[in-house]
Amino acid sequence: MFLPLGFELRSVMTSLGKMVYYTAEGELWQTKDTDVTEDLPSLLFLHGFGGGSSAYEWSKVYPAFADEYRIVAPDLIGWGYSHHPQRNYQIDDYLQNITEFIEKTCTEPVAVVASSLTAGLLIRLAVVNPHLFKCLILIAPSGLADFGENSVSNFFTQLISIPGVNSLIYNLGIANKSAIRSFLEERQFANSNRVSEEIVEAYAESASQPNAEYAALSFVRGDLSFDLSLYISQLNIPTTFIWGQESQFTKPEMGKRLADLNPQSVRYFEQLENVGLTPQLEVPAVTIGLIRKFLRLLNGN
């Protein structure tokens, strides 16, 4: 388990099972004026989807905020160390589950940092339940079928829907270290030299959890895809988009099209050169600086 210093693992029960989350605990984050048990404002970090995804994605970032915020960084249902129900996951499963998690762990409107498809889901949640959110800082938010452009091929969808074949594809093409490293270096990062052995180990550990293939295959099949452009104009929460210029799955041009649908709420669009899909892993120090900057701007400080 990859647990940053000064953090511990806690859990809450949801309708789909136990969700674990990381939060600061102990003397490391205490000062003369503050204590981690005080009512600090919450800052929620949500990871994206893909083979081996987990809250590790944010582990180089969220400790930087532990003296100012109550950090909440969960493994979503079906990922990491949270419960892995044997089911074909649907969009409503995550909309409901994330809502339940926020209601159980945050007592006031929360600032959220989220990435990729999860960030797209957060926009949908903020439209329906705006009272839950203070502001959104979103890394390459997408529904993966935006403006009617579906990123999943029909042939591949049919292939991984075949019983037995889907498990083989998962084990050979997603859940082993060689495949994980290859994917990170060739598709997720702009600079392959930034892929460390620890990152590969963390993704492999998450991908090898019992029943981890169910959520991953639902994602790869496109069961969780939707057209974010149909929802974003209804968003009323102060929001920032951060986009790696070399993101292969959702290009920054697509992100700008989405942002332009609602400039009143999507107030800032930051594009990062020589960065791929996950700046939080590829350039964590830069990501920390930008999150701090946009928390201040979005909250009017």
Per residue in 67-77, pLDDT tens?
Answer: 999 999 999 99
Q: Is the pLDDT of residue 149 over 90?
A: no
Q: Is the pLDDT of residue 262 over 90?
A: yes
CA distances from 95 to 75, 92, 118, 119 (A): 15, 5, 9, 11
pLDDT digit string, tens, across residues 4-13: 999 999 999 9
pLDDT digit string, tens, across residues 76-125: 999 999 999 999 999 999 999 999 999 999 999 999 999 999 999 999 99
**Domain boundaries in the chain?**
7-298
pTM here is 0.94
Domain spanning 7-298, CATH class: alpha beta
- 3-state class (DSSP) for residue 137: strand
pLDDT digit string, tens, across residues 168-224: 677 666 778 998 999 999 999 999 999 999 999 999 999 999 999 999 989 988 899
Instruction: Name the band, by pLDDT with cuts 50, 70 and 90, for residue 152.
Output: low
pLDDT of 25: 86
Q: Is the pLDDT of residue 51 over 90?
A: no
pLDDT of 155: 44
The closest of 198, 180, 182 to 60, measured between CA atoms, is 198
Relative orientation angle of helices 116-128 and 91-105, to the nearest 10 degrees? 70
Whether 237 contacts 133, CB under 8 Å: yes
